[in-house]
Amino acid sequence: MVSPRQIRAARALLGWSQQELADKAIVSLNALARLENGKVDSRISTLQAIEAALIKAGVEFLSAGQKGEGVRLLDPLV
C-alpha cells in the first residue's frame, strides 16, 4: 500500500493539486487531505482509488526496500 509521502510526491510529479487528485480518484478532498497529513487511517478502498488514479496517470510506486520508498513518472512515450 502506498504511503502519504508517496501520494504527495506523485501529485508533485504530475503537477496536480489535491482537488485534481480527489476528482480523478473520486474521493473527497477532505479525505485526501487528512490522508496526506497522516491524520487518519483511511479506508482501503480510498487508498486503492487514489493509487489507481495515480498509476493511470503514469506514476510508478517503488516499495520500501534497501534504498527506501519512492515514486517515479513513467515515460509516456514507452
Q: Is the pLDDT of residue 25 over 90?
A: yes
CB 47 within 8 A of CB 37: no
Residue 42 neighbours by CB under 8 Å, 6+ apart: 31, 34, 35
What radius of gyration, in Å, describes the C-alpha atoms of the chain? 12
62 strand-pairing partners:
70
Average the pLDDT over 35-40 and give the result: 85
Taking the C-alpha atoms of residue 75 and residue 68, their distance in angstroms, rounded to an integer, is 22
Residue 4 three-state SS? helix
With a pLDDT cut of 70, the percent of the chain lying above it is 95
Q: Is the pLDDT of residue 49 over 90?
A: yes
pLDDT of residue 20: 98
* Confidence band for 78, pLDDT divided at 50, 70 and 90: very low
